[in-house]
């Protein structure tokens, strides 16, 4: 209800009142639950206080009676009252603490399970440092399968492929084929359920994580822009000088846009914290995400649908720039639109978590399989659109 990215859909669907109503219903349900719990606590506390009150009245009455009949002195009366009151208070506190401990123990047990699950498994067996002086950057999937925890369906099954050093590889396939999972496994965001992934012959799970991720420049499909300056959005914890940032903006075709802003690279992205902040369009946001990859300058480049928000001309220009910048770096492209395939040495086609076709564009077109069908359907779409424009 407060995120700028949702504003268009909320307004066009007139959903503001509906969302406010749902929020109100949830708030009311939460409040009712709290009231019930508070009422239960009130009942328990009331009974406890009543028992304590009765105990105190009886104690004082009995002790006063003993003083009156001369069984004990006034001094003894004061001593007994103090001792018993102290005992009752301590006993009551102990019982309340035991009850509180029981409640908190349930939270502690859940927290222990959370800590156990949140510990990366690679921390247990990291052995190797990455040798950046080595110009060979080869990644091999060896009988790799992956499924999410508590599910039986494999997202990837028995994948065997080697991304050769300096190769430009294109990964294609329909939605849900396993392409993005393939990339996340390379990035060590997931770990294989079966099999292993090797970097230059070394199991990546045994390479120090901080060293391994320095090898990767990744532009994810679901990139994020942060409510920070343009400069910080590009650098993201990387120390870079002005010239490097300008070069990254230039390569992403965003330099003129940024130079036209009132505060240049120090302009805030988004208006949440700065009324002078800039809202980038979808295409401009993707260019900014690409600038991060340019600046990182890692030996392995991964582009996961980096052109989804770009028009075909901008898409072609972006791939041409990447093609020139990448040089001899190992690069992997994922795209539904097959414009990236012409820059690649090899194409891998995924279907239902398996590799079904491997080859160059010409080879895959000749066998007339899944890739051929995808490519020709896209070609027909563009031809039909061009024909309609000419008819108009």
Q: Which two tokens stand for residue 175?
A: 């939605």
CA nearest neighbour of 230 among 289, 298, 273, 172: 289
Strands laid side by side in the 139-146 sheet: 156-163, 139-146, 194-199, 202-203
Sign of CA dihedral 62, 63, 64, 65: positive
> What is the residue-averaged pLDDT of the chain?
83
Residues 6+ apart with CB under 8 A from 202: 128
* pLDDT tens for each residue of 292-329: 888 888 899 898 876 666 666 767 777 777 777 777 88
* Residue 212 near residue 188 (C-beta atoms within 8 A): yes
Whether 180 shows a pLDDT value over 70: the answer reads yes
When pLDDT is averaged across residues 86-101 and rounded to a whole number, the result is 79
In whole angstroms, how large is the CA radius of gyration of the chain?
A: 33
Residues 6+ apart with CB under 8 A from 74: 67
* pLDDT tens for each residue of 331-387: 898 877 676 677 788 999 999 999 999 999 889 999 999 999 988 887 776 555 444
In the block, residue with structure tokens 């859909």: 9
* pTM of the model as a whole: 0.70
Q: How many residues does the chain have?
A: 392
CA 15 from chain center: how many Å?
27
The CATH number given to 139-225+280-391 is 3.40.50.300
CA distance 152 to 156: 12
* pLDDT tens for each residue of 6-46: 888 888 888 888 899 999 999 999 999 889 888 887 887 78
Instruction: Look at strands 346-351 and 168-172 and give their pairing.
Output: parallel
Q: Hey, what long-range contacts does 254-259 have (CB within 8 A, 24 or more apart)? A: 254/284, 254/287, 254/288, 254/291, 257/284, 258/230
Q: What is the pLDDT of residue 130?
A: 67
Q: What is the pLDDT of residue 350?
A: 93
Q: What is the pLDDT of residue 268?
A: 92
Whether 202 shows a pLDDT value over 60: the answer reads yes
Q: What is the pLDDT of residue 159?
A: 94
DSSP class of residue 310?
S
Q: What is the pLDDT of residue 391?
A: 45
* pLDDT tens for each residue of 234-293: 998 888 889 999 998 988 888 999 999 988 999 999 887 888 888 888 788 888 888 888
The domains of the chain are located at 4-118, 139-225+280-391
């Amino acid at each position: 209800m407060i995120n700028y990215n949702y504003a268009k859909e909320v307004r066009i669907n007139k959903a503001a009142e509906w969302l406010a109503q749902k929020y109100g219903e949830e708030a009311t349900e939460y409040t009712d639950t709290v009231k019930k719990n508070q009422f239960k606590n009130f009942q328990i506390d009331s009974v406890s206080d009543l028992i304590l009150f009765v105990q105190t009245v009886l104690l004082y009455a009995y002790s006063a009676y003993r003083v009156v009949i001369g069984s004990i002195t006034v001094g003894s009366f004061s001593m007994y009252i103090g001792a018993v009151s102290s005992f009752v208070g301590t006993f009551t506190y102990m019982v309340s603490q035991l009850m509180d401990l029981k409640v908190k123990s349930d939270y502690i047990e859940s927290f222990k399970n959370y800590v156990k699950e949140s510990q990366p498994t690679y921390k247990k067996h990291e052995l190797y440092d990455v040798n950046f002086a080595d110009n060979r950057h080869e990644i091999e999937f060896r009988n790799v399968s992956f499924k999410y925890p508590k599910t039986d369906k494999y997202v990837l099954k028995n994948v065997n492929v080697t991304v050769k050093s300096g190769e430009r590889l294109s990964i294609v396939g329909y939605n849900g084929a396993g392409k993005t999972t393939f990339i996340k496994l390379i990035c060590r965001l997931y770990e294989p359920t079966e099999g292993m992934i090797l970097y230059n012959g070394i199991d990546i799970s045994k390479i120090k994580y901080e060293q391994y991720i320095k090898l990767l420049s990744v532009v994810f499909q679901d990139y994020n822009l942060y409510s920070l300056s343009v400069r910080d959005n590009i650098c993201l914890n990387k120390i870079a000088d002005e010239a490097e940032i300008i070069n990254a903006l230039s390569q992403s075709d965003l330099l003129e846009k940024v130079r036209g802003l009132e505060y240049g690279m120090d302009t805030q992205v988004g208006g949440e914290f700065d009324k002078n902040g800039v809202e980038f369009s979808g295409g401009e946001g993707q260019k900014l995400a690409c600038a991060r990859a340019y600046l990182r300058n890692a030996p392995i480049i991964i582009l996961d649908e980096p052109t989804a928000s770009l028009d075909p001309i901008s898409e072609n220009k972006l791939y041409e720039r990447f093609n020139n910048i990448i040089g001899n770096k190992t690069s992997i492209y994922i795209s539904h639109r097959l414009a990236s395939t012409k820059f690649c040495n090899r194409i891998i086609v995924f279907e239902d978590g398996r590799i079904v076709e491997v080859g160059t564009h010409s080879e895959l077109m000749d066998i007339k399989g899944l890739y051929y069908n995808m490519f020709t359907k896209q070609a027909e779409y563009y031809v039909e659109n061009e024909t309609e424009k000419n008819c108009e």
